[in-house]
Structures are given as C-alpha cells and as structure tokens.
Chains A and B, each alone.
Chain A
Amino acid sequence: MSASDIIFLIVAVVTVGSAAIVVLSRSLIYSAFSLLFTFFGVAIIYVYLGADFLAGTQVLIYVGGILVLLLFGVMLTHRLYSLNLRTETFQVIPGFLIALAVFISLALVSTRTNWHVVADKPLVPTTDTIGTLFLTEYLLPFEIASILLLVALIGAAMLVRRRADI
C-alpha cells in the first residue's frame, strides 16, 4: 500500500463514520457538526478523482452554504439554552433493515460487476473544460439551473413571510 492509499482509507473511514454519527447521534448539534466532516471527506474524495473544481465547489457550497443553513434551521426551531438537543427516532428496526438491504445490494452490484474501466486517465485541471462546456454544450441546463435558483429564492422568501401580509 502506498501512502496515498492509506490516506484514502483514512478519509473513507472518517467520511462514512461521521455520516454514521449524523444518522445515529441523538444530539442535533452533534449531527450537524459531523455533517461538516462528511462534506470535507467527500471533497477530498473528489480530489482523489481528479475533480479539482468540484472539490472547491463542494467546500464552498456545502460547507459554506448548506451546512450554515442547516445550523440556522436547528437554532431557529429550538430553544438553545443547552447543547443537549435530543431528537427522537421511530421505526428504527424497519429503517435499519431497509438501509442494510440497500447497502448489501449496492455493494454486491459494485463489486461483482465487471466494469469497463479506462485505466490511468491523466490528471488535468478541469476548470477550463467545465467553463467551456457550460457555455457551449450544457448551455440549456446552465440557464435552467439559474432559473431554478431564482425560483427557489422567491419561493423561500414567500414561504417565510408573515401571514398578515398576504
């Protein structure tokens, strides 16, 4: 095993382990902060896959945007006098069984299938290609995504205003 393999193994264990804490922890604050490590782990996995722009985007949007939004959601909907925000669970046994069945089937598919793998593509910077593709081949998804962001902005603002303003 080379050094990069060992680092990959550590990153994988941290990612999956903190995702398990997100799901299993009873404290909402612990869940939110474990999600931070999961997002960083996924960003490092993107680096291993040669997706440098996507790793930066992951850190910026997930850690800087989505996680902060989730923390806002936690703090605005609970009275934060102490850090032991307990959350309840229900139907734990069926949920665990379904998750286990999904994992086993996905793991069997991913290990048993004979993938047609192109070996050793060179690691090149992808930002240039992504920018060019977004303005040529993927122009329509790009525009639809911007319209989706506008609609989500208007919708979120409309949902949380006071009822008396209608």
Chain B
Amino acid sequence: MITLSHYLLISAALFSLGIMGVLTRKNAVNVLMGIELILNSANINLVAFSRYSSNGIDGQMFAIIVIVVAASEVAVALAMVLTMYRLLRTVNLDQADTLKPTCKVCATSIPN
C-alpha cells in the first residue's frame, strides 16, 4: 500500500541528492542539474500533498507554476553559462574568480 510517506521519502531523497550536486560539483551545468532535481522534489511534495488533502488540486497549480519558473530559470542560467564560457574559456565555478584581487586571469581574459 502506497501512502503519503513514500512520496515524501522519494522527494526527500531527490532533494538531498540535488543539494549534494549543487554543493560538490565544479561544472556549472552539473550544478544546474542539481537545481532541477531540487525543483522536481518540491513538485512531488506539492502534488502529493494536494492528492492526500481535502482541498482540491491547488498543489498541482503550484507545481505548474514551478515548472514555468524552472524553464525560464534554466534558459537564463544557460545564457549565463555560455557568456561565462566565452569570457573565461571555462565553466568551472571555482575558476570564475575575476572579482578576487589576486586572480590570474583578470588582467587578460575579459575584453573591453
């Protein structure tokens, strides 16, 4: 018998895996994948609570809005990743440190 707790457990697993992806990966695209996992787990929670509660399908409406926000977020974030690759020739987040005073690339790699 599947109960609410099973959905919440799946959602918790996806959320913590997404947190780990965001915290440990250097590649910006990988960090974006972690954020997508987190948003998916939040969506599972919303839909599960709306299924097992008494008031309508409000959770599904919230989930659709979250999907819209995730789509626009990933579009803007990938534009930023492409710009970062064009300026710095890398998508590793630890090398995007041009605001640090002692960095190696800030004198040369940014045009204009």
Kindly state the separation between the CA atoms of A126 and B17 in the bound complex, as whole angstroms.
30
State whether B57 touches A129 (Cβ < 8 A). yes
Interface size on A, residues (CB 8 A): 82
Q: Is the interface of A mostly helix, strand, loop or mixed?
A: helix
The chain B residue with its CB closest to the CB of A99 is: B20
> Which residues of chain B are near A100, meaning CB under 8 Å?
16
Given A15-B14, A106-B8, check contact A38 B40 (CB 8 Å): yes
State whether B61 touches A19 (Cβ < 8 A). no
> Which residues of chain A are near B101, meaning CB under 8 Å?
none
State whether A106 touches B16 (Cβ < 8 A). yes
Interface size on B, residues (CB 8 A): 71
Known: A15-B14, A141-B61. 10 other contacts (CB 8 A): A15-B10, A49-B47, A49-B48, A51-B51, A57-B64, A66-B71, A73-B82, A95-B23, A103-B16, A133-B57
B residues contacting A by CB (< 8 A) are 1-21, 23-27, 29-30, 32-34, 36-37, 40, 43-44, 47-48, 51-54, 56-57, 60-61, 63-65, 67-76, 78-83, 85, 91-92, 94, 111-112
A residues contacting B by CB (< 8 A) are 4-5, 8, 12, 15-16, 19-20, 22-23, 28, 31-32, 35, 38-39, 42, 45-46, 48-51, 53-54, 57-58, 61-62, 65-66, 69-70, 72-74, 76-78, 87-92, 94-96, 98-100, 102-103, 106-107, 109-111, 115-118, 121, 126, 129-130, 133-134, 138, 141, 145, 148-149, 151-153, 155-157, 159-160, 163
